[in-house]
């Protein structure tokens, strides 16, 4: 397996190797099935569209500020991932940090980050979903989010492969809690031990191991890259 990929499996007492038969597969959404252009690139593009030319240093500084501010304890206390209204209130505020230099930039960034047409599947996303579906393996998407990512899947014609969407703001639970993974397994009608979780976050997505799922972690990469999501087919023994 590529050095940038990792597979984790729950082990019982004294077990060195766990062999499982995968009967259902769960995927994270962002940086697993789909990717958006990096925030710094979006800042530069949206500033230009608003008639402002900003330096690369300014765009980088703003992107870093947004990401930093989004993860302070005070901001995380708002629990954006559990309430769509809170999500829709907090992210525009965070993105507006550059509005003093580029009026309207915050609203433009929020629009871009939630536009289905500006999210792109990874190179192997479609063939992986299609092959699993054709083999009769049920598929779920499990995401920590405060907006409906179904629209992205539908825009790219991939929603037809997905049997359930388990979104944190709809179910009131967030990864890495075992509960959100167990809810997805229940939706698919598959036991956790027979389920594979594919994600990119070594904390949030690896929480699936605690719920009894085998877990494949792939690297977060740019839109259209080959990120290794197709390895789910090998693990599930799907040609």
**This prediction's pTM:** 0.90
Domain ends where: 86, 117, 148? 117
**Which pair of tokens denotes residue 5?**
């990929």
Angle at 217 between CA 216 and CA 219, to 5 degrees: 145
- Token pair of 118, please? 């500006």
User: For residue 94, what are its two tokens?
Assistant: 């965070």
Asked if residue 202 and residue 172 are part of one domain, the reply reads: yes
The percentage of residues in the chain with a pLDDT greater than 90, rounded to a whole number, is 91
CB 162 within 8 A of CB 141: yes
Pairwise pLDDT comparison (4 vs 72), residue with the higher score: 72
Residues 129 and 64 in one domain: no
pLDDT of res. 23: 97
Domain that holds residue 201: 6-33+122-235
Same domain, yes or no, for 81 and 47?
yes
Co-location of 47 and 129 in the same domain = no
Task: Give the pLDDT band of residue 89 (cuts 50, 70, 90).
Answer: very high
Encoded tokens for 198: 């594919």
For all residues of the chain together, what is the average pLDDT? 93
On whether both 111 and 177 belong to a single domain, the answer is no
């Amino acid at each position: 397996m590529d050095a940038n990929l990792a597979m984790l499996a729950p082990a019982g007492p004294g077990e060195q190797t766990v062999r499982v038969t995968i009967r259902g597969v769960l995927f994270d959404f962002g940086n697993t099935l789909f990717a958006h252009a990096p925030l710094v690139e979006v800042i530069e593009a949206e500033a230009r569209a608003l008639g402002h030319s900003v330096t690369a240093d300014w765009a980088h500084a703003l992107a870093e500020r947004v990401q930093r501010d989004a993860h302070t304890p005070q901001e995380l206390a708002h629990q954006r991932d559990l309430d769509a209204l809170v999500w829709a209130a907090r992210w525009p505020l965070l993105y507006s940090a550059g509005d003093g230099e580029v009026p309207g930039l915050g609203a433009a960034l929020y629009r871009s980050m939630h536009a289905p047409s500006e999210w792109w599947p990874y190179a192997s996303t479609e063939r992986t979903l299609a092959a699993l579906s054709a083999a009769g393996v049920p598929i779920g998407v499990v995401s920590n989010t405060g907006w409906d990512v179904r629209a992205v899947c539908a825009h790219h014609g991939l929603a037809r492969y997905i049997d359930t969407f388990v979104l944190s703001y709809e179910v009131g639970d967030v990864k890495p809690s075992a509960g959100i993974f167990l809810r997805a397994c229940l939706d698919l009608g598959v036991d956790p031990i027979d389920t594979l979780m594919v994600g990119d976050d070594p904390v949030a997505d690896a929480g699936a191991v605690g719920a009894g799922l085998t877990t494949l972690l792939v690297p977060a990469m740019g839109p259209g890259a080959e990120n290794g999501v197709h390895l789910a087919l090998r693990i599930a023994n799907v040609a």
